[in-house]
Amino acid sequence: MSKARVGVVLTLVALAVGAGLYAQNGMNAIAQPAERSSIEAPAALSTSGMALPDFREIVRRNREAVVQIAVRGEDRRMQEQFGEDSPFGEFFRRYGIPGNPGNPGNPGAPQGQAPERRGSGSGFIINANGRILTNAHVVKDADEITVTLSDNREFKAKVLGLDERTDVALIEIDAKGLPTTRLGDSDRIEVGEWVLAIGAPFGMSYTATQGIVSATDRQLRETYVPFIQTDAAVNPGNSGGPLFNARGEVIGINSQILSGSGGYMGLSFAIPINTATLIADQLADKGFVERGFLGIQFQPVDGRLAERFGLDRPRGALVGSVTTDGPAEKAGVQAGDIVLSYNGKQLESSGELPPLVGATPVGAKATIEVLREGKTRKLTVTIGKLEEEAAAGATPRGERSAPAEARESRLGLTLSELTADQREQLDIKGGVLITAVQRGPAARAGLARGDVIMGANHKAVESIEELREAIGDQAKGGATLLLVRRGAGSLFIVIEAQE
């Protein structure tokens, strides 16, 4: 009998209990902002004589400024599933949704009412007049928000604004003279520092857990947040709670964990407080967040791409496509450029670029250094305003007048030239459509049916014949670099030679 292999799937988990409620200038908009302090908590000595933080003092000093947040609202996922456009919509309007208190058999309850979802999280007071920071996913879609203070007083809260891209929310309660947390400087933290998390995991109020900073500037899914990674134990319900340094200053907002079980497994992530306060100021002032926009789509640079582009080692962000008439195109950025630095900050990974661009004021000028054809050059770009992304482009479909397919055996691809309708649909002038991928180097590299090859070995291609010429004999004796259009974006893919 063979033994089955068991794999563990790690998932980023947002830390609010009851996840059904959600699916990351000028004068301070936060009135009376929390004071940043450099006062150090008393330190104890370890057996080796080294100073240790006094976590007891940190908890005593900040307990009253940490709050519990309970939310109620309709399960909008059920509404989307069984709404007006659902084939079952009329049935559930008449007879109710299974498991909903509003179903027939529950006297007095409205028929067909969407089920109620409840959730909970944490937060911390940053202003004596009742302003509280928490996570966007804690309060998103909530119809009622209740904040419980350390003395068990309860207040209804209103959302001043939330930002899903950074997972930051600013809420407010009607109260005066509240204790506040002190905010630190998250740009100064280092790996190995002691940290303390306070929150309400699984509804267990005012739970304190300690650990160290295990990484900084951690990028998760190319977001606008350079997360602080810690090993402090946080669990569902900790969302929105503060992460303190050894001086008792808030340096982050606990937000996510990496888990295969839904609970703590040694990796937790916090939003840096410097990022959070920039967002909160805009939310308080305008109710929304305005971000800088560069106008490129990019990808990470791995070892194979670094070699193909003449880079000394993997680093930077490889530009796959440039938005027409966008800030980057106007500044001279081209597909195939590798962005090495932004306003003097070297990019060790592509994920470092979005937070830097997003934090740049709209209309400001930024200097980017790019590598192009083996040479570096500096470009000045005027940052635009980020709008909602356009929907992903449709995969090209064959038309009645589609040309015959051709086989490219060196790459293991079946190809077809695009029709005029397909080119118009994708808003491109050239390219070759992949209609099938055989076993071999192309499949191993990740090419897929529906991809459009826009270039090969730094040469644009508009036909199968041009693609074959660009490949030449490299497909037999070396790696081939392809520029591929996939959906609404573009990326570079290296295909290793057939062995």
- Read off the pLDDT of residues 426-456 as tens digits, 9 standing for 90 and up: 778 788 888 888 777 888 888 888 888 888 8
Q: How far apart are CA 176 and CA 121, in angstroms?
A: 22
Tell me what the mean pLDDT of segment 314-329 comes to. 92
Average pLDDT over residues 139-165: 93
State residue 3's pLDDT score: 46
Structure token pair of residue 83: 């709404």
C-alpha 210/C-alpha 233 separation (Å) is 7
Cα–Cα distance, 155 to 145 (Å, whole number): 8
AA letter at 241: G
- Residue 269: the pLDDT is 94
Would you say residue 40 has pLDDT above 60? no
Q: Tell me the catalytic residues.
A: 137, 167, 239
Query: Which DSSP symbol is given to 402?
Result: P
Q: How far is CA 2 from CA 5, 364, 419, in A?
A: 9, 63, 51
Reported as a pLDDT band with limits 50, 70 and 90, residue 247 is: very high
Residue 164 structure tokens: 């899903």
Mean pLDDT score of the chain, rounded to an integer? 79
- Residue-wise pLDDT tens digits, 67-93: 999 999 876 555 555 555 555 555 555
Helix spans in 300-410 (H): 303-308, 327-331, 353-358
pTM of the predicted model over 0.75: no
42 has pLDDT over 60? no
Say what the pLDDT of residue 480 is.
86
Question: Which domains does the chain carry?
Answer: 11-70+119-286 (2.40.10.120), 76-114 (no CATH), 292-385 (2.30.42.10), 406-495 (2.30.42.10)
pLDDT band at 488 (very low <50, low <70, confident <90, very high): confident
Question: What does residue 469 show for φ and ψ, rounded to 5 degrees?
Answer: -65, -40
310: left (phi over 0), alpha (psi -120 to 50) or beta: left
Give the pLDDT mean for 323-335.
93
Residue 2 has pLDDT above 90, yes or no: no
Q: What percent of the chain has pLDDT over 70?
A: 74
What average pLDDT does this structure show over 47-56? Answer: 70
Nearest residue to 135 (alpha-carbon basis) of 74, 71, 39, 75: 71
CA–CA separation, 258 vs 266, rounded Å? Answer: 8
The conformation of residue 293, written as its DSSP 8-state character, comes to E
Quote the CA–CA distance of 80 and 477 in Å, as a whole number: 53
- Report the candidate in 438, 472, 467 with the shortest Cα–Cα distance to residue 455: 467
Q: How does pLDDT run across 10-37, given as a tens digit for each residue?
A: 556 666 655 433 333 333 333 333 344 4
Mean pLDDT check: name the lowest of 95-99, 126-130, 211-215, 461-465: 95-99
CA atoms of 155 and 229, how far apart (whole Å): 32
Give the model confidence (pLDDT) of 260-315 as tens digits: 666 677 789 999 999 999 999 999 998 888 899 999 989 899 998 999 899 999 99
- One-letter amino acid at 305 equals L
- List, for residues 162-219, the tens digit of each pLDDT value: 999 899 999 999 999 999 999 999 999 999 999 999 999 888 889 999 999 999 988 8
